[in-house]
Amino acid sequence: MATHTYEQAPDHGAKAGVLAYLATAAAVLLLMMVFGLLMRLEQAQWISIGADRFYELMTLHGAGMVGIAGIAGASVMWHFLRQYVELSPRIFVANLALFLVGVGMILASVLLGHFHGGWTFLYPLPGKSMGMWGPGAAALFMGGLLVIGVGFLLLHLDVARAIVARYGNFARALGWPQLFGHDDGKAPPPTVVASAMVTVVNVIGLVVGASILTMMLVNLYVPGFDIDPLLAKGMIYFFGHVFINATIYMAVIAVYEILPRYTQRPWKANKVFLASWTASTLMVMFIFPHHLLMDFAFPKWMLVMGHVIGYLNTVPILVVTGYGALMIVYRSGIRWDMASKLLFLSLFGWAAGAMPAFIDGTISVNYVMHNTLWVPGHFHTYLLLGLVAMVFGFMYYLGKPDHEADDRAIDRVAFWLFTSSVLGFTLSFLYSGKESVARRYAAHLPEWLPYDRIGSVFAALVIASALVFIVRFFARIGVARHDNRRAPLARGAAA
Amino acid sequence: MQPIAWQLSLVLMTLVAFAFAFAAINSGRREDDYTPLQKRAYRLRKRLFWALVLVFGPAMIYTLLELPYGAGRAHGGAGAAQLVEATGYQWRWELSRDEVVAGEPVEFRVTSADVNHGFGIYDANLHLVAQTQAMPGYTNTLRHTFGEPGTYRILCMEYCGIAHHNMMTEIRVVAR
């Protein structure tokens, strides 16, 4: 039997910038998780913070989580992509600096200006608060988002520059010569393909997002500058959908890069892989009408397009990336540690969360489930058990002092606590959605309280396990900078 | 519809969990030659792909047959539509009438006077039976035939500010 050999790329330590990104993401994640718990406790009537504070926390929770998902995803992409292309460390740091400025503006807007128009800033709500906040607070919030968006746009433009410098153009970076012609096995590695995809969709998404934010900022002070609310909604959801999805497509690079090191098997960009990423590039941009299925005035063909793409979009997740993880792990002799377990779990979370998501994108289902807790049910599944697990897996990987280092018992306990409590937490949301519990309510009807109380308990357990992961990351942050071999050799693999 | 969505989601999520558990359980003993394993896996993947197409393709098309956008939703109702003008305000609903007859189609013309709202109709068991968005500058026409008499609640389904959760009203559905 032929022996398969796998050549490991040098395992670089993380640059200080990557660790600054991860530290920011971890700290904000923990704080936003606590805000989320407070919201659930308020709905469960176990605490009393009032509707104004609830909606302020809700606005911060949404904006903060989307922001750090972007920051964490970008850190994964940047860390691995720099193996293949020459990226600018200054632009990378500039993005984080702009992010922190934006966060400061958003915090001031909410905590000092009492803005609570939701992170989706749906027009014309920011300008019509019924006296609850002033135009200055709304401008500060939207200005903060704009500053953060400009930072990410700079980062993606730098990634675009670096990719074009190395591969000539985006068609090559996406592997189109191999996809549409003869597959000579020389397609760019998965990291480059994924980074190219994310760059394409996020540059477009961020420009659309910045456009509507600018339009709304003008409208705040010049009300005569009228905006069509349906156009505004379409632009906001286009930007929001693209941006949050791009975070997963960036973070999954950790799986593509790290699982092959554990299994000593390659994750190659073959024709099916390339086809799925090209398809995802298009689908991520054209699926956004599935957020507008209950806007009957929206063009019908676009709503049907959202429904259809919702189904198609699950295929690459299940059949290519999810299935790829099963293939690479099956009979690999992999040695499970926190990094490999969390990364494997993350693909389960992504694939499992896609199930209630595509069901919600079915128009006749959306008719009775849109804006119920079903929606946070599915997105918390693929973000918490998917994206966040990818980031925690990446953190554990960087924090490994050497390939033979064992996990501590507390890590192993935290892993199973995280897995089970996230499932309990998200299923409590999904069940609430099945029971028609409306989303974004500061106070719940008495019939809904049992689900809120169950959800609160699971949310507290999620935070407890995440706290272990985060403390362990900070405790080993010095190790993360070292160049060393981190992945243990698979059982029976040739060294 | 909601129980079907819930059960189907649980079944599909469980199937995904089984697939991941299967790979994890069988990860211990190494098959060092990856190429034949890959070939077998690719063959299986092709079958999986076509199974997904055959199961979910028809489901995707079938669920498009009855959309809430046209008059089709009011099927089963007899007689002319009962018109209800519904306007959302921060934070109340204004309905042109608060009583309709069961078994006859109702046409809700839903709009908003200020920001985005969502017009969600809940039955006596607090289950959502129909909804549409209430948007400033647009009128969304929602057609629904109430099968059962009773008191239905209208809840706001789009975040609209500090009293969003209190934006409720009732509509009585009486027997013919």
Chain B nearest-CA residue for A226: B137
Mutation target to probe the A interface, by most A beta carbons within 10 A, among B29, B140, B162 is: B162
Q: Where are the domains of chain B?
A: 2-62, 73-174
> Residue A129: its chain B contacts at CB < 8 A?
161
Q: Are A294 and A366 in contact (CB under 8 A)?
A: yes
> By three-state DSSP, how is residue B112 classified?
strand
β-pairing, B99-101 vs B92-95, is unpaired
CATH number for B73-174 (one of 2.60.40.10, 2.60.40.420, 3.30.1360.120, 3.40.50.410): it is: 2.60.40.420
> What ranges in A383-448 are assigned the alpha helix state H?
389-398, 409-434
Alpha-carbon distance of A293 to A368, in angstroms, equals 11
On chain B, the residues whose CB falls within 8 A of the CB of A55 are 159, 161-162, 164
Nearest alpha carbon to residue B62 among A302, A318, A362, A286: A362
CA proximity to A236, closest of A216, A220, A222 = A216
Over pLDDT 90: what percentage of chain A?
A: 92
> Taken in order B10, B11, B12, B14, is the CA torsion positive or negative?
positive
Look at A233 and B116 and tell me if their CB atoms are within 8 Å: yes
Q: Note whether A368 contacts B129, CB cutoff 8 Å.
A: yes
Task: Say what percent of chain B tops pLDDT 90.
Answer: 88
| Cβ atoms B176, B101 nearer than 8 A | yes
ipTM here: 0.94
pLDDT score of A10: 63
Is the Cβ pair B66, A443 closer than 8 Å?
A: no
Q: Collapsing DSSP states into helix, strand and coil, what is residue A82? A: coil
CA distance A120 to chain B (A): 10
Task: Compute the nearest-CA separation of A132 from chain B (Å).
Answer: 8
- Copy the structure tokens of residue B98: 């608060």
Tell which residue, A331, A316, A315, A320, has the closest CA to residue A268: A320
Three-state DSSP class for B108? Answer: strand
Omega of the bond prior to B91 within 30 degrees of 0, cis? yes
Q: pLDDT of A352-362, one tens digit each? A: 999 999 999 99
Distance between A156 CA and the closest CA of chain B, angstroms: 32
d(CA A28, CA A398): 20
Q: Do A297 and B29 touch (CB under 8 A)?
A: no
Token pair of B6, please? 């819930």
Residues of B in Cβ contact (< 8 Å) with A326:
19-20, 22-23, 41
Residue A122 clears pLDDT 80, i.e. is over it:
yes
Q: Quick check: B73 pLDDT over 90? A: no
| A420 contacts in chain B (CB < 8 Å) | none
Q: Identity (one letter) of the amino acid at A281?
A: T
CA-nearest residue to B6 within chain A is A434
The DSSP-derived string for A439-478 is SS-SS--GGGHHHHHHHHHHHHHHHHHHHHHHHHHHHTTT
Structural domains of chain A, with CATH = 16-481 (1.20.210.10)
Alpha-carbon span A6 to A316, nearest angstrom = 25
pLDDT tens per residue, range A377-424:
999 999 999 999 999 999 999 999 888 888 999 999 999 999 999 999
Among B19, B34, B120, beta carbon nearest to A265: B34
Could you report the per-residue pLDDT of B12-39, keeping only the tens digit for each?
999 999 999 999 999 999 998 899 999 9
pTM over 0.90: yes
Cβ-based contacts of A493 with chain B (< 8 Å): 30, 32
